[in-house]
Amino acid sequence: MNKKAIAILGGIFILIVGTLGVIIYLRSTGDDEPTTPVETPPVVIQEPVIDFPDFEEPEPTPVTGSGATRLTDEAVITPALFFQGNGIAYFNRQGQLFRTDMAISGSTVLLSNKTEITIPPKSGISKILWPLVGQSFIAESGVGLARQWSYYNPETGVYVELPRQVKSLSWMPDGTKIVFVWVDDNGNATLNLANPDTTGYQLLSELYDSDIEIMVSPDGRTIAYYRNQNTNLSENGLFTVSADGQTWGTITREGYNRGVLWSPDSRKLLFSKRDSSGSSTLWMADLTTSQVKSLGVSSSETKAVWSRDSQSVVVAVPSSGGVGSGLTSDSIAKIDVMSGSKTDFSLGSGVDAQELFLNLEENILFFRNAQDGSLYYLFLSSPSSSF
């Protein structure tokens, strides 16, 4: 290799080394300049998003294999329509009074705005006697000869215990008076008219028997009565007396008859007739025509309700068990009392329908199921149809 080539290579090497030196110098100079720190964003731990829906009443529970639907989870005592048919009032087993709004959506009945009415709670209530009008009521406790009654005075907000000598009673239609049977300590019985707390009483008539059960007609003109402790199981007549205690009449003397459920027009009534086997059949008496006839179903007036036009009844008919001898399993029948035509509705098993009432449109039947004590309903026709 000649000297000229070596010189060229040496120059190239020096040039490369110089260039590298310049680059290193510039980098070291740039590292000395201030730098802006990069802020690390904070770590955010995000809570899981849970969508809490608005509280809703539990969905109604259908009875297995039937069209009946449960409306309340708690047991009720003597439920009834109120607020011109737009609500339901009832007592619970602790003696507290509740009212709820009621709405119909398609084929579903909904209760809302449950409100406890501020009154003194009363234990031991078995039945409520609601008047046709007014805010007062009478609470019944005990059964048979041990029954006792308490009048709730809405003006004072307290219960008034009725005397133990009161053995049967019924509201007059205006809700300001009652008719009651008074039995003194010597067993003498009288029929009386008085204020709901038995003050200001008026004697209507003396009675031959001390075990009389009474029920005033909706127009307040007639009182139906029968013996409720008669030991002669082959005969127990059903009778009437005018509200002034002056005019007496006979509905029937044949057979063993009990119970009274007046029609709204006060011209007819339902009652039970028991046969020799102990089974109970439902009968109707027409006071205008004096006709007394069987409605052809084994049931009682305690499991029935009249239509407002007094032409039809809806009745729970036991398919197993017997009326008055424990729990029953019922179906529902709608009966035209004049023609006898009948339409049946199935409730399935485990439904003992008592304390029946209809909505204003009369296409929905409400009742207390004695099997669990809850309030139930059953559509008898579509919401747009009338009873």
| pLDDT over threshold 70, residue 1 | no
- Does residue 339 fall inside a structural domain? no
pLDDT for the residue 324:
67
pLDDT for the residue 83:
73
295 and 282 Cβ atoms separated by less than 8 Å: yes
pLDDT for the residue 325:
65
Lowest model confidence (mean pLDDT) among 1-10, 112-121, 130-139, 216-225? 1-10
| pLDDT band of 384, cuts 50, 70, 90 | low
User: How confident is the model over 48-66, as a mean pLDDT?
Assistant: 37
Pairing of strands 238-242, 248-252: antiparallel
pLDDT tens figures, 119-159: 999 999 999 999 999 889 999 999 877 899 999 999 999 99
- Region of 227 please: left (phi>0), alpha (psi -120 to 50) or beta: beta
pLDDT for the residue 294:
95
Q: What's the CA gap between 283 and 296, in Å, rounded? A: 8
| pLDDT band of 191, cuts 50, 70, 90 | very high
Most confident of 45-59, 151-165, 224-238, 343-357: 151-165
- Does residue 158 fall inside a structural domain? yes
| pLDDT band of 233, cuts 50, 70, 90 | confident
pLDDT for the residue 272:
96
- Does residue 188 fall inside a structural domain? yes
- Does residue 113 fall inside a structural domain? no
pLDDT tens figures, 264-295: 999 999 999 987 777 789 999 999 999 999 99
The per-type count for the chain, helices as H runs and strands as E runs, is: 1, 29
| pLDDT over threshold 60, residue 197 | yes
- Does residue 209 fall inside a structural domain? yes
| pLDDT band of 34, cuts 50, 70, 90 | very low
Instruction: State how many domains the chain has.
Output: 1
- Does residue 344 fall inside a structural domain? no
| Of the candidates 257, 237, 261, the residue with the CA atom closest to the CA atom of residue 248 | 237
Check which CATH number belongs to the domain holding 139 and give it.
2.120.10.30
| pLDDT band of 76, cuts 50, 70, 90 | very high
pLDDT for the residue 66:
53
DSSP string, 50-77: ---PPP-PPPPEEPTTSS-EE--SS--E
| pLDDT over threshold 70, residue 82 | yes
Three-class secondary structure of residue 128 per DSSP: strand
What is the extent of the structural domain holding 187? 133-217+219-262
- Does residue 35 fall inside a structural domain? no
pTM: 0.81
pLDDT for the residue 20:
43
pLDDT for the residue 95:
95
Instruction: Please state, rounded to an integer, the average pLDDT across all residues of the chain.
Output: 84
| pLDDT over threshold 90, residue 46 | no
User: How confident is the model over 47-70, as a mean pLDDT?
Assistant: 45
| pLDDT band of 232, cuts 50, 70, 90 | confident
- Region of 158 please: left (phi>0), alpha (psi -120 to 50) or beta: beta
Q: What's the CA gap between 225 and 262, in Å, rounded? A: 12
